[in-house]
Amino acid sequence: MANKRTILLPKTQKILTAVGENIKLARLRRKLSSEQVAERANISRTTLFYIESGHAGVSIGSYLQVLTVLGLGNDFTLIAKDDELGRKLQDAKMITKGRAPKRHNKS
């Protein structure tokens, strides 16, 4: 099975690149080499390079491992914590179905 390449919209790629840069800056502030962080996170140096470059193909688990090594693992729990749109929809008592509707094949 061939690997499927993840394609991101430019705005989304810009966010991922910024996250990677922040991770790299955090590593450098702690004066840790890429080899040290990769070893402690149990990933390859290439994977760490991809994380710090904002590569979309890296698993979210690898990002979390690196953040944990840097002492920033708890920051991961802040993702989507303040869901303003979701709260507004909830407050407006919008009815959402539990499942998406089934697709009907057109023959």
Q: Is residue 107 part of a domain?
A: no
CA-based nearest residue to 67, from 52, 46, 83:
52
Write the CATH number for 19.
1.10.260.40
Rounded to an integer, what distance in angstroms lies between the CA atom of residue 24 and that of residue 63? 12
Q: Is residue 102 part of a domain?
A: no
Q: Is residue 98 part of a domain?
A: no
With a CB cutoff of 8 Å and minimum separation 6, the contacts of 74 are none
pLDDT at 94: 61
User: Per the structure block, which two tokens stand in for 12?
Assistant: 């989304």
Predicted TM-score (pTM) of this structure: 0.76
Rounded to an integer, what distance in angstroms lies between the CA atom of residue 48 and that of residue 58? 9
CA-based nearest residue to 66, from 51, 84, 81, 88:
51
pLDDT at 53: 96
Domain that holds residue 28: 10-91
Q: Is residue 14 part of a domain?
A: yes
Tens place of pLDDT for every residue, the chain, 107 residues? 456 777 889 999 999 999 999 999 999 999 999 999 999 999 999 999 999 999 999 999 999 999 999 999 998 888 888 888 888 888 887 666 677 667 777 65
The structural domain count of the chain equals 1
DSSP, collapsed to helix, strand or coil, labels residue 19 as helix
